[in-house]
Amino acid sequence: MLSTITFKGVTYSTDLSKPIDISIPLRCGEENVNAWHSPPVKIEPVRMGDWVGDVNMGGSVNFRNIFFNPHGNGTHTECVGHISKENYTINKCLTKFFFMAELITISPDIMTNGDKHITKNHIENCLGNKLPEALIIRTIDNSPLKINKQYSNTNPPYLDYEAAEFIGAIGINHLLIDLPSIDKERDDGKLLAHHAFWQYPNNTKQDRTITELIYVHNNIMDGAYLLNIQIASFENDASPSKPVLYNLKGISSF
């Protein structure tokens, strides 16, 4: 199903029948990706007296409860409500769902204290003069083990405050990364990169989102894509999400 989209004077064609899913699915059990010491995802049938919500156990339908933490159990998209005193929700902050995006791949620098971080220079060098609506960051090493990695207490790589500030300053409103957070795992609750990107509390950008714990396969090339961010309509600071990419082909400019 071919469609066209125009962005900054260039018209592209894209095939919406060929999505590229960069989410990690929520799965029951210990093999699901996990961060922040979150309990594993549980998916279990409802039980009421002698009735059970599982067809294979004699129930008439499958009727299950699901227990999960959106920040710790898989790909999720969050709004400024993640760090704010005000009750911003992802369902109200994210009201558009298609964006022009740039995928970049970065090998984080290793600091003297052993931390791995993504710097402003990394972002500038990868983007050049490109100004997309959304930025997708894939980090090296990009092993498929990211799909079920247990991140808690491992001090994963993170984004420098200056890098997050720069991304926001050039007008990027949607930031996606294949790590559990854009901030350091233990930073005494400062969340400097989150605050810088959302410019909270002095110039809060309510329409901006951060998507974490994505997985971008190595066979997906760096470059421009059409991005669709799909969420559930949670009135919460974050929702499980399904970011999907579509290849673009430039067909005209003016």
> What domains are there in the chain, each with its CATH number?
2-27+70-253 (3.50.30.50)
**Cα–Cα distance measured from residue 120 to residue 122, given in angstroms and rounded to the nearest whole number:** 5
Contact status, residue 162 vs residue 124, Cβ threshold 8 Å: no
Q: Say whether pTM exceeds 0.85.
A: yes
Structure-token pair, residue 63: 């009727």
State residue 123's pLDDT score: 98
The segments of the chain whose pLDDT lies below 50 read 253-254
What's residue 235's pLDDT? 98
Check residue 14 and give its pLDDT: 96
| Res 31: pLDDT | 87
Say what the pLDDT of residue 23 is: 98
- The predicted pLDDT at position 251 comes to 63
